[in-house]
Structure 1
Amino acid sequence: MRWTLKPKLESEKIKALQEALQVDSILATLLLHRGIETYEDAKTFFRPRLGDLHDPFLMRDMDKAVARIEKAMANKENILVYGDYDVDGTTAVALMSTYLKSKYELVHTYIPNRYDEGYGISYKGINFALENDFSLIIALDCGIKSVDKVTYAKELGIDFIICDHHRPADEIPNAAAVLDPKRKDCEYPYKELCGCGVGFKLIQALASKENKTVEDLIEYLDLVATAIGADIVPITGENRVLAYFGLQVINANPRPGIKAILDQVEKTELTITDVVFIVAPRINAAGRMKHGNYAVALLTETEENLAKKYASEINEYNLDRRETDKRITEEALQQIEEQKEQERFTTVVYNETWHKGVIGIVASRLTETYYRPTLVFTKSGDKLAASARSVRGFDVYRALEACTDYIEQFGGHKYAAGLTLKEAQYEAFKQAFEEEVAKTIDKNLLTPEIKIDAQIDLKDITPKFYRVLKQFAPFGPNNMAPIFMTENLTDTGYGKCVGADKTHLRLTAAQPEANNMVCIGFSMGHKLDLISNGKPFRAVYSIDENEWNGNVSLQLKLKDIKA
């Protein structure tokens, strides 16, 4: 692990913010690192307001999208709400279809089959619309690159409204409206919405035509917050506001489908991290192991007993998914070890039998293990399909763009993408991808980095300090939980390996003139020797609460320790 302390800030700036907010220098530094420089900035950050959301009509084509939906309703057209099979797509479809059905009954949903249609808009989906007399398709979390398919639909008399957040190509589809804040010609002030977030802006615009405000749409924010967490978008600006209020809905009054998931795990107060690790995998499991329709059925169900039944089925899919991804990860690790004859800058593995639904998860696990831009391939019909994952700081999407001579189709983000290619092109692509990464990646990025917000002493960690720190949440990209470093620590003598397989490290850290702090280091049992027999050590950690037998105390969640 590389430990990188964030750069020192001007002492005058720290002092000015300290005085304005009446906080200590550590908290002032944390805020400045997040671009918060004034009392007003801090007020917006600590007290998110729905009134801080932008006018949806600032988004290019929003007026066209609203007009086309209003026309469809006036003419009694059938509307098909179409979305991708992952969490962002299925929550967006649930959100849009639920809202439209509250006004209009001729609304149906469509989720493509991961295995025979693949990602995004499919010809099969358009033909389904034609056969069932749908003249308007609202596509969510997909469509920005579907130029040919949107043209095909138009020739059949079917209009598209696209609500996407992925990076567009040079040509924008010829749809009735294309909502995507990442369009070069879109001046919408916030660019980082997820697909469900773009869908929310559309229902916000539709609601405004009935003189309704965003407060009237709060019930939909549990879906938006779930998508924000699952899609790993920055939790800044509008996303922070939407996630903040969405978490309140999840914790106070979630829709029956989300409540049924939470009842399975008996969790009371959920953070965005809980949403990512508890709610999102279950919703995702439907599309991975069976069909995304199951997720939409769960998220739109209003009857509690039915929601419980759907949640129970989806939980079974999630258990299957876990077993499958564990087995495939082991097989992939073995394949990599057998290939280790030379130093490589990428990890690329392929097995035609691997389950397409879990290769993205496997790619993430391999990236964590080897810390290289990673591709996991499997057979998909007569093609090969892959999921790509990257290391922090490296744009895998750009690397794939440089290899388009070998690729049939690809899409995604800086850190995660998907692609298909002909089997005959696999070896040539693998070599081209390796060469592209080798010449463009900063070699430092191949060692995992921990960015440290501030160096502090244990005596700085007080209940008041933690109370303020908690208000930095919800955490996520561009607003991660603060990471601290403390030097000259010793263990009180009770440090040990814990957990069923003794892979975790638990110790009590001591420092002169400070209260001792309990520390837990997951998967750090192998570092026990570093802290044994009173050896001094330094630690990098985040601070959280530990609840045991009804008692709540602060603890340090270790990221790494060094002598």
Structure 2
Amino acid sequence: MKFKIQNLKFKIKDNFQMKTLIEILLKNRGIKTRKEIQEFLNPKLENVAIENVGIDKKQLKKAISRIRLAIKNKEKIVIYGDYDVDGISGTAILWETLNSIGAKVMPYIPHRIEEGYGLSIGGIENCKLKIANCSLIITVDNGIVANKPVDYANKQGIDVIITDHHVSSKKLPDALAIVHTTMLCGTGVAWLLAQQLIINNEELKIKNEGHLELVALATVADLVPLKGANRTLLKFGLEVLRKTKRIGLLELFKEAEIDQSEIGVYEIGHIIVPRLNATGRLDYAMDSLRLLCTKNKKRAEILAKEIGATNKERQLLTINTAQHAIESVKNSTSIKLRGASKKGELKKLLFVAHESYQQGVIGLVAGKLVEEFYRPAIVISKGKKYSKASARSVKGFDIIEFIRTAQEFLVDAGGHPMAAGFTIETIKLPLLQKALEDKAELMLNKDLLTPICELTLNYPYPLLI
């Protein structure tokens, strides 16, 4: 589908008409109230407040009280982050903030292959081994569906504070406090918690505003809607990022050959984020966290080069896996090429599984399938006993809600309306595939499976004079 936009020459008649035009453009983007318009056109950092982003103040207060008690009693605290840019950025913020106020704190990032996503019983056991006598775990970008691991931690005498932005299930974990909203990325939630911890210290508040560079990375990385608080955080985060003195980021910019002063959303999303994500996809994300936090220039240079090399390996693996997955879909439906006449029908849900698929790239591959066929896609890395899956969706189809309709087959599941993941016993894959494909045939209609090019302008008044 292509659209040709003519290069019309016109002038706005007057300032009133310009104001009306702007309001219509914003309305077409879903920005309607005067408050939303002001936030979009003139974002102010002070407007990014707890009450404006859906975080429960009582839960936040409980979290802050417990953290301050841990600092007072010199307890060992673990920041338990996810292995993507959102997780490691938020982990860096909380680790640096808690360090600055005297906490005994250590970061922990689970290994994707060995431990899997999010807070887990195995991860808690590893925390106990590596950080003896830890009594408080604070999650970043995970934990909202970790009911069993939280119960396990409670039995071990470890309190858990969850900070997360993923969609919750019906039953929340029995955590000491849950700092949660789906309106921000995980790092945004962590940044607000850090801000509240140092709210009475002007020097540390200024330092926390410097952390906005990491919030900007995570906001773009997690593809959250760039309006409201997210737009504000990104605007100010970009300003900090273009002037950052964080050694690890400077070395990464050098390795990627990008001009720091020109960094924008494209540079973050297509150059910086893939590099930082590469370690968690193929190896161990702690190296990306170390790069963000190191004060040693030589160490930063080595890490940046290693991360760049890992990203090249990730690119090649993604290309090869995506080609295999696309061919699998074409072969299963006898489709020759995209847009060509069909010999068979393309299923409404794409479901591809293979033993050779590496867990770290299946989410990217699912995204490639959506681009190629414009269907929700589930790509699975098959294991002998358990299999891991990543899913990507099309606009208007909530993929995590859809996957949870088959919860009886799953070990666990989590995510967002547009992206999700789950674990399943491999023996149950055929049952799950049939259940989801049957439901997809009923739930997905032609409109949902038709790509839409949204035009921002719908202006009923004459512009020409």
TM-score, normalized by length of structure 1?
Answer: 0.73
Deviation at 1:425, TM superposition (A): 1.3
Task: Tell me the equivalent position of 1:286.
Answer: 279
Tell me whether 1:90 sits opposite 2:88 in the alignment. Answer: yes
1:402 is paired with a residue whose SS is helix
Deviation at 1:142, TM superposition (A): 0.6
Query: How far apart, in 1, do the equivalents of 2:306 and 2:286 lie?
Result: 12
User: Which one of the candidate residues 53, 78, 102 is aligned to 2:100?
Assistant: 102
Alignment of 1:65-76 (within 5 A): 65-76=63-74
Tell me whether 1:311 sits opposite 2:311 in the alignment. Answer: no
Query: How far apart, in 2, do the equivalents of 1:404 and 1:42 lie?
Result: 40
Task: Tell me the equivalent position of 1:122.
Answer: 120
Task: Tell me the equivalent position of 1:170.
Answer: 170
Q: 1:202-237, CA deviations, whole angstroms, 9 ceiling, x for partnerless residues?
A: 101101144668544211001111111000111111
Tell me whether 1:51 sits opposite 2:46 in the alignment. Answer: yes
Query: How far apart, in 1, do the equivalents of 2:288 and 2:69 lie?
Result: 30
- Would you say the 8 A contact 1:60–1:179 is kept in 2? no
Match of 1:258, as an amino acid? L
Tell me whether 1:389 sits opposite 2:395 in the alignment. Answer: no
Task: Tell me the equivalent position of 1:199.
Answer: 190
- Would you say the 8 A contact 2:56–2:180 is kept in 1? no
Task: Tell me the equivalent position of 1:335.
Answer: 328
User: Which one of the candidate residues 420, 426, 437 is aligned to 1:423?
Assistant: 426
1:104 is paired with a residue whose SS is coil
Match of 1:389, as an amino acid? R
Task: Tell me the equivalent position of 1:247.
Answer: 238
Task: Tell me the equivalent position of 1:503.
Answer: none
Cα 1:171–1:43 shift into 2, 3 Å: closer
Query: How far apart, in 2, do the equivalents of 1:116 and 1:293 lie?
Result: 14
Task: Tell me the equivalent position of 2:9.
Answer: none
Deviation at 1:264, TM superposition (A): 2.1
Task: Tell me the equivalent position of 2:337.
Answer: none
Cα 1:222–1:93 shift into 2, 3 Å: same
Cα 1:36–1:372 shift into 2, 3 Å: closer
Task: Tell me the equivalent position of 1:302.
Answer: 295
Match of 1:417, as an amino acid? A
Match of 1:318, as an amino acid? N
1:248 is paired with a residue whose SS is helix
Tell me whether 1:265 sits opposite 2:256 in the alignment. Answer: yes
Task: Tell me the equivalent position of 1:454.
Answer: 457
Deviation at 1:428, TM superposition (A): 1.6
Query: How far apart, in 2, do the equivalents of 1:38 and 1:130 lie?
Result: 50
Task: Tell me the equivalent position of 1:436.
Answer: 439
- Would you say the 8 A contact 2:75–2:134 is kept in 1? yes
CA RMSD after TM alignment: 2.4
Q: 1:5-56, CA deviations, whole angstroms, 9 ceiling, x for partnerless residues?
A: 9xxxxxxxxx9xx855x62654442123235557765443222111111147
Query: How far apart, in 2, do the equivalents of 1:237 and 1:416 lie?
Result: 21
| 369-378 vs 401-410, greater mean Cα deviation | 401-410
User: Which one of the candidate residues 313, 325, 330 is aligned to 1:320?
Assistant: 313
2:142 is paired with a residue whose SS is coil
Cα 1:254–1:376 shift into 2, 3 Å: farther
Query: How far apart, in 2, do the equivalents of 1:356 and 1:35 lie?
Result: 36
Report how many aligned residue pairs link the two structures. Answer: 437
Larger fraction in helix: 2
Task: Tell me the equivalent position of 2:8.
Answer: none
Percent sequence identity is: 34
User: Which one of the candidate residues 358, 362, 379 is aligned to 1:359?
Assistant: 362
- Would you say the 8 A contact 1:116–1:381 is kept in 2? no
Cα 1:383–1:38 shift into 2, 3 Å: closer
Cα 1:212–1:58 shift into 2, 3 Å: farther
Match of 1:84, as an amino acid? D
Larger fraction in strand: 1
Match of 1:438, as an amino acid? E
Unaligned runs of 5+ in 2: 6-11, 335-343
Using CA pairs below 8 Å that are at least 6 residues apart, which structure has the higher relative contact order? 2
2:80 is paired with a residue whose SS is strand
Query: How far apart, in 2, do the equivalents of 1:378 and 1:35 lie?
Result: 38
Tell me whether 1:34 sits opposite 2:29 in the alignment. Answer: yes
Query: How far apart, in 2, do the equivalents of 1:40 and 1:199 lie?
Result: 25
Query: How far apart, in 1, do the equivalents of 2:133 and 2:384 lie?
Result: 29
Deviation at 1:254, TM superposition (A): 4.8
Deviation at 1:2, TM superposition (A): 8.3
Structure label with greater radius of gyration: 1
Q: 1:154-190, CA deviations, whole angstroms, 9 ceiling, x for partnerless residues?
A: 1111111110111111222121211112xxxxxxxxx
Query: How far apart, in 2, do the equivalents of 1:174 and 1:34 lie?
Result: 38
Task: Tell me the equivalent position of 2:153.
Answer: 153
Query: How far apart, in 2, do the equivalents of 1:118 and 1:439 lie?
Result: 32
Tell me whether 1:410 sits opposite 2:413 in the alignment. Answer: yes
- Would you say the 8 A contact 2:385–2:427 is kept in 1? no
TM-score, normalized by length of structure 2?
Answer: 0.88
Cα 1:237–1:374 shift into 2, 3 Å: same
- Would you say the 8 A contact 1:194–1:228 is kept in 2? yes
Unaligned runs of 5+ in 1: 6-14, 182-190, 462-563
Query: How far apart, in 1, do the equivalents of 2:393 and 2:31 lie?
Result: 29
Deviation at 1:448, TM superposition (A): 1.4
